[in-house]
Structure 1
Amino acid sequence: MKKTITKYFTISLLLVLLSLVFIGCSSARKYKQENTLLKSEIQKRDSLKSVIINQAIDDKLITPVVQSSTGNPVLDSLVNAKVDEILSKLNTSKNSGDNSYKLIYDKLAKQLEFYSKMAQTKNENTATKTTNDKTIIQIKKIPVEIVKPLSKLEKFLMVLGIVTLLFLGYKTVVFIKNKTSLWV
């Protein structure tokens, strides 16, 4: 029974030593701080819309036509008749949508009448103003793992260390075996 306990103890000791060697040989991870610059701009757009509305115009112009008065009734009647004939030919009117005008000569009232109607007008102006209000600059440190391959010297020393530990473990087992005579 003592023999098996010593045997298991020796094997456990060797396993612990080997695991310590492998854990100890693994290199610690190295990190590098890398600065990252983040910029963000906030844009602000303002729109200004101006609307000018002109109201509709409804206009009327009446101009009396003065009768000829030279003192000669024959000449006055001829002149007045000719003026009435000429002005009667001016009667006209036009319509376009809500806009219209009309020119007429009223023989009875002896007057020239002008009527006009202009629709409402609307002017729109839009001005857009863009401003960059804020620029936010943030610096963040991001850890980046450096992966560096092992050099030939490091690999050689690792193999040499493992071989040395195996040799020392073998010599320890042989030494214990010879001294205790528990193993046959």
Structure 2
Amino acid sequence: MVMNKIARVFKHLVHLVMPHRHVRRPFSTRTLHAIEEAILECEATHVGQLCFAIEGSLGLTALLKGETPRERALEVFSDLRVWDTEHNNGVLIYVLLADRCVEIVADRGISTRVPADEWDAVCRDMEAAFRAGDFKRGARAGTEAIGRLLSKHFPAQQLAARELPARPVIVGGGAAHI
């Protein structure tokens, strides 16, 4: 247990040294653009609002407290105001690179209709693609899978106004960068 905690702290510290480099290598401008396109394409089929956030690592305080990727995803969900959509239909896709973890947080208007195991399956598929080094394919496939779930449960009646940024957000260093 202690060794796992030490190994986790070390992985995060490596990312803290050059946070943007560790994020921009797997999530290049081309990959970020592909994610943005996937969000815009899939949002035409449902009334949900997607937000994709990437974080290289947690801060030292969060690590020492043992903050989990899920707990951090909930913070980012709040910080980026994904919960603040008109119809409570926001969905956050959160990637924590140092832990190689993906979390999906859905607002109350959506979470009651889509079971947690369906979100978890999307997360595990994205993580598998990321482990294989295919961040672009994994991110696009995950975004499209979420789009299919939302289309099934919340089909578009009309094109909804964008309330959240379609471009992925890079989180870290106390600020979010779009």
Structure of larger gyration radius: 1
Mark yes or no: TM-score above 0.5.
no
The TM-score with structure 1 as length reference comes to 0.18
The TM-score with structure 2 as length reference comes to 0.19
Structure with a larger share of its residues in helix: 2
